Structure 1
Amino acid sequence: MSTTTSPLLALSRAILRGFSRDRTSVFFAIVFPLMFLVLFGGLLGDRDTPKLDAVQVGAVPPIDDAGPQLRESLDQSFEITRSDDLAAALKQVREGKADIALEMRGDTLVLHYSNVDAVTAGVAQGTLRSFVDAANLAASGAPSRFQLQVDAVEDDSLSSIQYYTPGLLGWGVATSAAIGAAATLQGWRQSKLLRRLQLAPVSTRTVVAARVLVTLVISLVQMAIFLGVAMAFFGLRLDGAWWSSVPLLLVGTLSFMAMGLLSGAVAKTTEGAVNMANFLVLPMSMLSGSFFPLDGAPRWLDVVSQCLPLRHLNEGMLDVLVRGDGPSAVVVPALILLGFTVVLTLVAARLFRWDTA
């Protein structure tokens, strides 16, 4: 073993041993993000598209006389109960115990809804309008020229766990890397360890390489635990080029480690460095799709999100873990994260001081 490799491995083992003995660090790096995965998996893992609760008042011929295909389509969207009391049905809708009430007035199907839930009302109106159009065509006796076939873009086994596992993993890795680097740098500075390292026989470059190596190993452990738990308990499936998420995760780890170094270089205390790193990562997770999708976000918010490294880490992980893209899908996100790493490291080096004074 070379004289360069031996000190690097020895320092790496020492730093990793120190991390494993620090229960607080282990909790926030592994257990805390995993709690969110279990919470989301338990709450959302088996969630299907909810049906709307509809109360049918009296006879409604378009529904009662619907053919098998129309009836099947209706049953996919509504859970229909029957009532002969219109006032009672309207009271249920008004109190939120039912989503809509339906009655027939002559040849008109009347939909009663509440203005309190405009989204549900819109879904019900659109669905029933399509149903009435189809019922009219069926009643006219005209042959159907067009048919609709509905296919999901994913296979039937795809569950919602696959959509939020990459985001939660990205947030966990970002938090661990940023806070760990910030606390380490400031802690070494306050304990005068940085000054002593200048006099040690081991080069500063070797010390830095050992700390980076340990951070990368911790990220890989986080990834293995996250994916393992999601696969074992919540039905996560890894297909295609999922393995290409590994190099992307490592580059993302370096990016957030650089962010932590910047926090440690600017702050004057360990607590300040940790708080600053957390202040940077936590809002970023909200704006980068770690906890909820950004599909309905305003345009300006989407532009801001594109300027954040966590957004690119999450998107790249989604592409290869969920969307089935090939290894080329991680190239652009990895280059962007690498750019963040270089810029943040240069800024941190510029602001770095050996002592707190």
Structure 2
Amino acid sequence: MKKYWTGVFGQVRAQQKRFIRDKMSLFFTFLFPLLFLFIFGSIFKDQSTSFNVAIINNSQTEFAKNFVDSAKGNAKDSVLKIKDVKDMDDAREKLKRSELNGIIELPSGFGEVKGEGNNAKPAGTINVLYGKGSEQTGSALTAVMGQVADEINKHLGQPEAPIKAAGKAVGDEQLKSFDYTFTGLLAFSLMSMGIFGLANQMPAEKQRGSYRRLRAAPFTSGQLIISMAIHYVIISLLSLVMMVIVGTFVFQFNMRGDWGLFVLMAVLAAFMMVGLGLLIGGWAKNENQSAPLTNLVSFPMMFLSGAFFPLYMFPEWLRGASQFIPMTPITEGFRLIMTEHASLIEVLPQLGAVTAWILVVYIAAIKLFRWE
């Protein structure tokens, strides 16, 4: 057993020395993922000039119904983009996930006629609800609704403004678009390091005869797989740390969850992604075999795991299929921890799924490995 692990860690040290001397590998490992981060960060850091809102009508008056119909009818030409929701709970959940910029609530009794004779006019207050931490968006949305209320008051001929708009922060702090995208970028970075790096390197090493000489040492396939896994997991985690630092200090990413739980998920995710690369690279005899297999595995993970496109946008059947994608529990786990303050119990399904994939992938990688 001692000889076994001595050989493993000896190979890890050798791979680390080779890696440090390779400037091209250093660039693609540490600087290339940051280019993606700066591109996506610059895109999603900007604020939208329109507002996605939901209207919750708790009033039974005819005036309130006409207000809702008018808002939906003028949505195409308005800065307010009305989104359909089931109820207030559904609206708040979408507000929390940044699918909505705010909620326009018409309280009970809104639009009831106040006063007598010629002074009898509908009155009420429009409540503008927005996420905590999004005061700028909330103020802008409240100002827009204030202008709407002013226009209604002018038509009613009421200088005392019986129709008003009031803003209020509700629920948890709302996510920025970058916060939601950043978690997907972290998962994509681990996938790139694990799959694209190893799937291309290992067939090239086979063609140079490097593994044939190791086998004559003797050196088992298990030792080689484990040593390469340790080396690449360390490199992947270092790259991930750099992205987190840049995301936090340059793009003001707000970590809402537990750092310890994030580290646990990151380590397991790195082992799983590296394992997939070892499986592909270990089985393939040359790059002609590894390249198409890499694309076959990586493209579904990029586009169906929720890394770049939220799963709620998918049709029901595709959401079900995405649960069988290895990267899906990683993306979901990062988002639950980093943006929704999930506890260990809440992310146990994702942790369990990643652990199960690790066992399957590494057993297959060792069994299917070919020395040349």
Q: Which amino acid aligns with 2:290?
A: A
Q: What residue is the counterpart of 2:189 in the other structure?
A: 172
CA distance in 2, matches of 1:234, 1:35: 13
Residue 129 of structure 2: which of 150, 157, 168 is its match? 150
- TM-superposed CA distance for 1:123, in Å, is 2.2
- TM-superposed CA distance for 1:184, in Å, is 3.5
Structure 2 CA distance for partners of 1:302 and 1:199, relative to 1, 3 Å: same
Q: Deviations over 1:155-198 (max 9, x none)?
A: 26x43222111110101101211122323432332222222112
Q: Which moved more, 1:22-31 or 1:182-191?
A: 22-31
Q: What residue is the counterpart of 1:99 in the other structure?
A: none
CA distance in 2, matches of 1:209, 1:192: 20
Is the 2:202–2:282 Cα contact (8 Å) retained in structure 1? Answer: yes
Q: Select the structure that is richer in strand.
A: 2
Q: Which amino acid aligns with 1:326?
A: S
Structure 1 segment 87-166 matched on structure 2, within 5 A: 123=82, 136-137=111-112, 148=127, 150-152=129-131, 153-155=171-173, 158-166=175-183
Determine if the alignment matches structure 1 residue 195 to structure 2 residue 170. Answer: no
Q: What residue is the counterpart of 1:227 in the other structure?
A: 244
Q: What residue is the counterpart of 1:61 in the other structure?
A: none
Structure 2 CA distance for partners of 1:11 and 1:345, relative to 1, 3 Å: closer
Structure 2 CA distance for partners of 1:11 and 1:262, relative to 1, 3 Å: closer
CA distance in 2, matches of 1:19, 1:261: 17
CA distance in 1, matches of 2:257, 2:105: 38
- Secondary structure of 1:289 counterpart: coil
Is the 1:245–1:330 Cα contact (8 Å) retained in structure 2? Answer: no
Is the 2:333–2:350 Cα contact (8 Å) retained in structure 1? Answer: yes
CA distance in 1, matches of 2:324, 2:173: 33
Determine if the alignment matches structure 1 residue 19 to structure 2 residue 19. Answer: yes
Q: Which amino acid aligns with 1:183?
A: N
CA distance in 1, matches of 2:7, 2:232: 17
Identity %: 24
CA distance in 2, matches of 1:110, 1:320: 37
Q: What residue is the counterpart of 1:292 in the other structure?
A: 309
Q: Which amino acid aligns with 2:371?
A: W
Give the structure-2-normalised TM-score: 0.67
CA distance in 1, matches of 2:322, 2:278: 22
Q: What residue is the counterpart of 2:369 in the other structure?
A: 352
Q: Which moved more, 1:6-15 or 1:225-234?
A: 6-15
CA distance in 2, matches of 1:110, 1:159: 26
- Secondary structure of 1:290 counterpart: coil
Structure 2, unaligned runs of 5 or more: 53-63, 86-101, 115-119, 132-170
Q: What residue is the counterpart of 1:85 in the other structure?
A: none
Q: What residue is the counterpart of 1:316 in the other structure?
A: 333
Is the 1:29–1:172 Cα contact (8 Å) retained in structure 2? Answer: no
Is the 1:241–1:327 Cα contact (8 Å) retained in structure 2? Answer: no
- Secondary structure of 1:154 counterpart: strand
- TM-superposed CA distance for 1:318, in Å, is 0.7
CA distance in 1, matches of 2:319, 2:84: 30
- TM-superposed CA distance for 1:210, in Å, is 2.3
- TM-superposed CA distance for 1:225, in Å, is 0.7
Q: Deviations over 1:125-159 (max 9, x none)?
A: 999x988x987436655786x98572523326x43
CA distance in 2, matches of 1:35, 1:221: 16
Q: Which amino acid aligns with 1:12?
A: V
- TM-superposed CA distance for 1:272, in Å, is 3.5
Is the 1:197–1:204 Cα contact (8 Å) retained in structure 2? Answer: no
- Secondary structure of 2:314 counterpart: coil
CA distance in 2, matches of 1:199, 1:22: 26
How many pairs align?
296
CA distance in 2, matches of 1:261, 1:203: 15
Structure 1, unaligned runs of 5 or more: 53-69, 75-107
Q: What residue is the counterpart of 2:230 in the other structure?
A: 213
CA distance in 1, matches of 2:177, 2:339: 10
Is the 2:326–2:354 Cα contact (8 Å) retained in structure 1? Answer: yes
